[in-house]
Structure 1
Amino acid sequence: MKACLILLLLAAVLPVSAQQLPVDAVKGDYIVGALQLPEAGVLELQSPDGQLLRRQAAPAGESEFRFVALQSGRYRAGLASPQSQGRVWLTEQRPLEAQLPEVAAPEAPLASPKLRALANELGAGTPAFWAAVQASGAPWIEPIPDHPQSWQVSFLWRGDASTRSVRLFWPVRQGDQERFARLPGTDVWHYSVRLPSGTRLAYQLAPDVPQLKGAGRQAQRRAILARVQADPLNLRRWAAGTPALGGFDNIQAEHSLLELPGAPPEPWLEPRAEVPRGRVEHLRFQSQQLGNERRLTVYLPAQKSAEALPLLLLFDEDAYVTRVPTTTILDNLIASGRIPPLMAVLVGNPTRESRSEELPCNPRFADMMAGELLPWLAARYPVTREAGRTVVAGSSYGGLASAWLALRHPERFGRVLSLSGSFWWAPARPPGFVAGGLDDAAEGEWLTRQYVAAPRSDVVFYLSPGLLERSAPSDGPGILETNRHLRDVLMARGQRVIYREFAGGHDYVNWRSELAEGLIALLGAP
């Protein structure tokens, strides 16, 4: 009762904001803050002894940050650049008394034959054991007898006397965040899973995630973001440049990279000295129809063209500027002759909240794209007006939006490039709604049903989900299943569909190369 009172009193006085925010915390406090920025920026978090704990990229608009105080003292959260405009404030500070005790993880023997042999030889959890693990790195990857297309992957964590749990945070929705088991009597925490050959994904580990009294499922899932970190035993890293807007990966932190044997090559991601670079412009677009403003990043090829340029419209500008090397991919594809010189427009979200309002099958947003943005671009750039040379593309909600635009305006958008499209989605309200969402009573796959009833068009589709994007058993059909269903519906209608599955999850690490493959398939020479 006393802890709850403390929490309520804190909530009443926390909304004090500034560009630099001191946070007096006691060890174990779970702290949530917010920041409001007119442009994308970076938040820095410092420990009481002045160490930089985190640099977190943040989109324009309002976003959150969270952390657990690992020592008592004054923490500082603030904008990295003194020139940045914006404010930072605290929204929740939950002491240990207002948290639930973590249920101890199960104890279990090692599933990995290789690790069992090492433990038998050196003693599990001994300095010699950990030295051997450190030398070879982790996770440990082993073939599975009689299953040549799969590998056993074993993640490891070295705990201490206070460790109560360790979780795997990765782009695979098998259920709740995967919990490690502890090898009895040791400091060895482990989690083993079977994955298909060719798997590539980014992941993080999180020890002792706060357990929140009275919190809903989403709030508890987000609590893991207070503790995520790269795997200290894996030297292969992927530095995610900025958060995706929405979902649970809205924290800038270093990720570890897992690649299994058979992972496909990624030839388009790195700059090449001999390849000329296209020109990049950053613009603001004001929509009269929607009454909002958004950032556009425009790419123009280095090569000159006598014809109007094909057009790529790509959603989630923030992520595709920094998490995905989009301009480098385009430079390399064009220089190699795999696609013609084109103009690309990366379309930003006005705010974090607007993403989930505009992208999921919003008719007003689709009409704005066709009736406002395309004419605005055509008046300023030498860009095509042909639907067959206009690609609309995106991942997750962006993939859903791409297919929706092509259904509502096939005369303007003739090519769809959908990466892990969220075709499970259904509106919580009747057509004509403004905000999107899925409630427990809504029937999923709304857009697929609209395609069943619509007349056939000349739109060509590239659909690419991940093999690891199956939903949890309690969640209904997932991204993999609903992409397969949409593929079948479109092909039964006589539409041209290029369909490709990759060995991975809901992850920008895979969407980088899949973007390139989709452009080659939709715009490349026959």
Structure 2
Amino acid sequence: MTVTAGVLAADAAPRRLAGAMPRVERVAARAADATEAERAVILEEFWADVTRRGTPLVEALDGDPEHCAVTFLWRGHRATRQVLLLAEGLADPADLAASRLSPLPGTDIWHLTYRLRADHRGSYRMAADISPGEPPASPERLQRRLLSLSAHAAPDPLNHRRTPGRWPDRDTSVFELPQAPARAWTERRSGAARGRVERHRLPAGVLGAERDVWAYLPPGGRDGELPVLVLNDGDMWFGRLAFQDALDALVADGAVPPLAVLAPDSVDRATRSRELGAPDSHVPFLADELLPWAAGRWPLTTDPARTLVAGQGLGGLTSLYAGFLRPERFGNVLAQSVPLSAASPSPPSRIGDGASRPVTVRLDVGLREDAILGHHRDLYETLRSRGCPVTLNEYNGGHDWACWRASLAEGLVGLLGH
């Protein structure tokens, strides 16, 4: 069965809208006939209202209830030459000029509006260019200038909703449209019993180096062996995203049974790129070193039906390999935004007709992940044709921690819930 996160059937492709939306147009109209002193008051009132409401501005579109007009704003000054929006799933890295905001003549308002389906969720950063002189006229030189500018992108100062970033260690701003799937378990729950998070140093012989592992143990006493989630990128999930808050809420609601989580650290970008997605080393590390090490310390199940391996990007690729190469250890796989391509065979293709025992798979991918969306659909059909219990969850967003954070908890409920 295919599970689609979005509740709407309308076109999900983002579209940049020309001109300004009504709230910005009203300011422009008032400012056009005002004196300089009056204009200053009008703009101060506008920015005070925007600061109170937060950005981006979300407005209804006449005759189109399934989409919203979403306006990103920046308050410029005399030195501002251009403003760049880096929105995951919206910006085209090969054409950054298309993601620049437009100045509203006679004001300090810079604006950019997209028509987005009402279930969109995403993260973004912004950067203002205050270099001397006008931006280059040449498209090639302009692209180089904007690439340099993107290195200085930061969260939107008018949006107080943020999520931690990674490599570089900078926050990103988050926006969610009214019909985005609920994030029922992603925040710390007041009154929920707290599990504990420990950080251990594990000898990882197959990787040729020691490895830090984050371990989550649920609150309360132990009643039998605990189900296990092996979660890649522990440094992000526990070091930055405080995923223990979601786990505490899930357990408190009875959405999943009390479970243990083992989350290896990815160290750095180069180590992650080298190790994750390499089945000959990382899968044996998870199956033959991490799980036995943890079982010697805590009462963990050895039942593959109660063991889940999960990851995002290359971590999702590792998770697929783990499930299909070692089904006696991992009976459930949650793979989010896997970097599949026609040039690199998918895990089922590599290992023939799949595992010797059933492995339940959930695939998550964003509708804004154009390079891999079709490959996820192909993989879903391949697995289903081979009798694998598989679901495909397509959310309206990009290759984005803000999206993965929301759907990971939902995936745990589907795979390990009562």
Q: Could you say whether these structures have the same fold, taking a TM-score greater than 0.5 normalized by the shorter chain as the test? A: yes
Partner of 2:196: 279
Partner of 2:158: 233
Partner of 1:522: 415
Number of residue pairs matched by the alignment: 384
1:381 and 2:298 equivalent?
A: yes
**Where do residues 74-473 of structure 1 align in structure 2 (5 Å cutoff)?**
110-123=19-32, 126-127=39-40, 128-129=42-43, 131-136=45-50, 137-172=54-89, 174-176=91-93, 177=96, 178-184=99-105, 186-208=107-129, 223-224=148-149, 226-234=151-159, 236-240=160-164, 243-244=165-166, 250-424=167-341, 443-447=343-347, 449-450=349-350, 453-454=353-354, 457-470=357-370
| Secondary structure, counterpart of 2:203 in structure 1 | strand
Q: Contact 1:423/1:448 (CA < 8 Å) preserved in 2?
A: no
Name structure 1 gaps, 5 residues minimum.
1-107, 245-249, 427-442, 471-477
- Structure 1 CA distance for aligned equivalents of residues 76 and 305 of structure 2: 56
Q: CA deviation at 1:400?
A: 1.6
1:510 and 2:409 equivalent?
A: no
- Structure 1 CA distance for aligned equivalents of residues 347 and 303 of structure 2: 24
| Secondary structure, counterpart of 1:148 in structure 2 | coil
Closer, same or farther: CA 172–130 of 1 in aligned 2, 3 Å: farther
- Structure 2 CA distance for aligned equivalents of residues 305 and 195 of structure 1: 47
Q: CA deviation at 1:252?
A: 2.8
| Secondary structure, counterpart of 1:147 in structure 2 | coil
Q: Contact 1:410/1:459 (CA < 8 Å) preserved in 2?
A: yes
Please tell me the residue identity of whatever aligns with 1:205.
Answer: M
Q: CA deviation at 1:285?
A: 0.9
Q: Which has the higher helix share?
A: 2
Instruction: Return the match for 2:377 from 484, 497, 501.
Output: 484
Closer, same or farther: CA 141–452 of 1 in aligned 2, 3 Å: farther
Please tell me the residue identity of whatever aligns with 2:76.
Answer: G
% identical equivalent positions:
36
Q: Deviations over 1:326-362 (max 9, x none)?
A: 1121112112211111111111124331100111233
- Structure 2 CA distance for aligned equivalents of residues 219 and 323 of structure 1: 31
- Structure 2 CA distance for aligned equivalents of residues 304 and 479 of structure 1: 43
Q: Contact 2:80/2:130 (CA < 8 Å) preserved in 1?
A: no
Q: CA deviation at 1:506?
A: 2.1
- Structure 1 CA distance for aligned equivalents of residues 121 and 329 of structure 2: 35
Q: CA deviation at 1:493?
A: 1.6
Q: Contact 1:311/1:342 (CA < 8 Å) preserved in 2?
A: yes
Closer, same or farther: CA 273–160 of 1 in aligned 2, 3 Å: closer
| Secondary structure, counterpart of 1:175 in structure 2 | coil
Closer, same or farther: CA 144–334 of 1 in aligned 2, 3 Å: same
Partner of 2:6: none
Name structure 2 gaps, 5 residues minimum.
1-16
- Structure 2 CA distance for aligned equivalents of residues 265 and 360 of structure 1: 30
Closer, same or farther: CA 396–181 of 1 in aligned 2, 3 Å: same
Q: CA deviation at 1:230?
A: 2.4
| Secondary structure, counterpart of 1:312 in structure 2 | strand
Higher relative contact order (CA 8 A, sep 6+): 2
Q: Contact 1:165/1:207 (CA < 8 Å) preserved in 2?
A: yes
Q: Deviations over 1:127-163 (max 9, x none)?
A: 3145324413432222233432211211122223332
TM-score, structure 2 length as denominator?
Answer: 0.82
TM-score, structure 1 length as denominator?
Answer: 0.66
Closer, same or farther: CA 203–130 of 1 in aligned 2, 3 Å: farther
Please tell me the residue identity of whatever aligns with 1:461.
Answer: V
Q: CA deviation at 1:501?
A: 2.3
Please tell me the residue identity of whatever aligns with 1:415.
Answer: N
Please tell me the residue identity of whatever aligns with 1:369.
Answer: L
| Secondary structure, counterpart of 2:319 in structure 1 | helix
Q: Contact 1:311/1:343 (CA < 8 Å) preserved in 2?
A: yes
Please tell me the residue identity of whatever aligns with 1:502.
Answer: Y
Closer, same or farther: CA 164–457 of 1 in aligned 2, 3 Å: farther
- Structure 2 CA distance for aligned equivalents of residues 173 and 361 of structure 1: 30
Q: Contact 1:456/1:493 (CA < 8 Å) preserved in 2?
A: no
